[in-house]
Structure 1
Amino acid sequence: MGDVLPVFPLGTVLFPGLVLPLHIFEERYRTLVRELVADTADGPHEFGVVTLRRGAEVLNAIESGDDPAPEEVQITAGSLYEVGCTAELRQVTELPDGRFDIVTVGRRRFRVLRLGQGTPATAYLTAEVEWLDDAEDDAGDTAEILAARVLAAFRAYLDLLRPETEVLDQVPDDPTVLSHLVAATTQLTTEERQLLLAAPDTTTRLRTELKLLNREAGLLARVRAVPVPLSDLARPASPN
């Protein structure tokens, strides 16, 4: 049996080590924040972030600040991707009306085994989860070699995207940390980000990122070099 974790469905993909600020206004998630702040147990105060697969109309209602009826915000297992990442509370600001502005940092990946059954109007979502650690790389220095290639491709991609700015003043040495940074900051679709989040190991994630970066750099180079309508090069945009 896995651990039980409070879960916050969002329209974004969170990666370990990345900062995620949130504005909390729904009552059930205000309750979650209050419980996390009041928890005196040792260790990080965290909840799970899982990306919504469907139900964009509900997400839009939630993010607009509306208070849809409880049945409109019910989330089922089919509405969510299976792999998520915990968000550790780092800063909490309570507003006069009871809402919260919080700053979180992604901490560890997990797979949803099953969702908890609660009353949507009064209880936040929970899930039984299993923790996902990057599998050991049996190929020796493969991850280090790939990390160098991904970093070079990422620099080239960013130079095409923002040629007038300095980028990557501080580069993480750890291949896993680099893989999460690249996944979170490259302009990708939600499905592509989820693929990277769910990768079984760092080597697999870096290999996939190298292909995606080369593709994105090629698209950007074509946009700059060929006078064709952007619609000719269009692909599904990421909502993140």
Structure 2
Amino acid sequence: MTDGAALPVPWLTVTERLPLFPLSSALFPGLVLPLNVFEERYRALVHDLLELPDSGPRRFAVVAIKNGQEVAPTGQDGRDSGAAAGLGDDPLAALYAFGCVADAAGISHRGEEGFELVATGVTRFRLLSVDASGPYLTAEIEELPEETGTGAGALVPEVTRAFRAYQKKLAGSRERTLSAQELPDDATVLSYLVAAAMIVETPAKQQLLEATDSAARLTEELRLLRRETAVIDKLPSLPAVDLVQQAICAN
């Protein structure tokens, strides 16, 4: 036994290997994700999901692309160049280190056009490794616990007010009746809905996904909402946007 030093407990770290679907943006728990699947590698992924029992989850990992492209370049024969196409020689380095597990609740086959897939974000994960040896990428992941954090409850009304002000600025003169749109009072659910609905660049969304707890996420969202609302004040009028409906929350 060492003199007071904490030793790692490897059996407490639970990892899982899942099919990996890189996207150009971050997915959040509770968010509904529609996908049109047409590339050969992702068709193979969906075929394998369909082999799983209807009664159980059909889980895959979604992670945002940091360096690379979502749609693979094609070769002279019209086929893509492999599981890691578009992500370079080191797909792990091309992806962000945190993502979200998705559950494919609905899959429709569209013949030669591929598949339409509707999935829901389930839980966040840390990306540990990527395997490009198969027909599509797979990832070893470690699921992350949901922590509320200190002061999250007190931040809920502040973020709700700031989000409504942000909505109003985006909607402009064609503003809808925002009071009719119920926002969740659960700190974690609200933090993910706002994160998904805000129109900000991918690095900012990724930072929200990676927040250590709901309180930290809400704190950063409050800062971003105030910043973006101030920016919109200085822009020409924008078309009405129903952000809550765009960020459908399953909770």
Q: Same fold per TM (> 0.5)?
A: yes
**Identical columns (%):** 39
Alpha-carbon shift at residue 191 of structure 1 (Å)? 0.2
Supply the distance in 2 between the matched residues of 1:166 and 1:61 (Cα, whole angstroms): 45
Residue in 2 that maps onto 1:2? 15
**Does structure 1 residue 40 correspond to structure 2 residue 53?**
yes
RMSD (Å), alpha carbons: 2.2
Cα distance in structure 2, aligned partners of 1:109 and 1:223:
35
Using the alignment, how far apart are the partners of 1:161 and 1:40 within structure 2?
43
Q: Distance in 2 between matches of 1:49 and 1:165?
A: 33
Secondary structure of the structure 2 residue equivalent to 1:97: helix
Partner SS state of residue 232, structure 2? helix
Query: What secondary structure, in the 3-state scheme, does the structure 1 residue paired with 2:25 have?
Result: coil
CA drift of 1:12 comes to 1.5
Asked if the contact 1:11–1:59 (Cα under 8 Å) also holds between the matched residues in 2, the reply is no
Secondary structure, counterpart of 1:69 in structure 2: coil
Q: Shift in Å at residue 166 of structure 1?
A: 2.8
Partner of 2:177: 166
Q: Please list, as runs of the form range in 1=range in 2, the aligned pairs for 1:1-240 lying within 5 A after superposition.
A: 2-40=15-53, 43-56=56-69, 59=71, 61=73, 67-70=79-82, 72-74=85-87, 76-97=91-112, 99-119=114-134, 123-137=135-149, 139=150, 142-163=151-172, 164-167=175-178, 169-223=181-235
State the Cα distance separating 1:69 from its structure 2 match.
Answer: 2.9
Q: Is the 8 A contact 2:163 2:194 kept in 1?
A: yes
Offset at residue 170 of structure 1 (A) = 2.1
Shift in Å at residue 51 of structure 1? 0.6
Q: Any conservation in 2 of the 1:14–1:49 contact (CA below 8 Å)?
A: yes
- SS of residue paired to 1:133: coil
Cα deviations by residue, 1:138-188 (Å, 9 ceiling, x for unpaired): x3xx11110110010000011011032233612112111111110111111
TM-score (norm 2): 0.79
Q: How far did residue 134 of structure 1 move? A: 2.2
Return the letter of the residue paired with 2:104: L
- Report the residue type matching 2:120 in the other structure: V
Counterparts of 1:55 and 1:30 in 2: how far apart (Å)? 20
Partners in 2 of 1:224 and 1:98 — Cα distance?
A: 39
Moved more, 26-35 or 66-75: 66-75
Q: Distance in 1 between matches of 2:211 and 2:236?
A: 32
Contact 1:90 1:104 in 2 (8 A): yes
Once residues 161 and 41 of structure 1 are traced to their aligned partners in structure 2, the CA distance between those partners, rounded to angstroms, is 41
Three-state SS of the structure 1 residue aligned to 2:34 is strand
Q: Any unmatched runs of 5+ in structure 1?
A: 226-240
Which AA in structure 1 matches 2:63?
Answer: V
**1:60–1:148 CA distance, 2 compared to 1 (3 A):** farther
Aligned letter for 2:212? Answer: P
Query: In the TM superposition, what whole-angstrom CA distance separates every residue of 1:13-36 from its partner, at most 9, and x where no partner exists?
Result: 111111111011122221221221
Cα distance in 2 for partners of 1:211, 1:60 equals 36
Question: How many aligned residue pairs are there?
Answer: 215
Counterpart in the other structure of 2:240:
none
1:36 counterpart letter in structure 2:
L
Asked if 1 retains the 8 angstrom alpha-carbon contact of 2:72 and 2:81, the reply is: no
Shift, 1:96, TM fit:
2.1
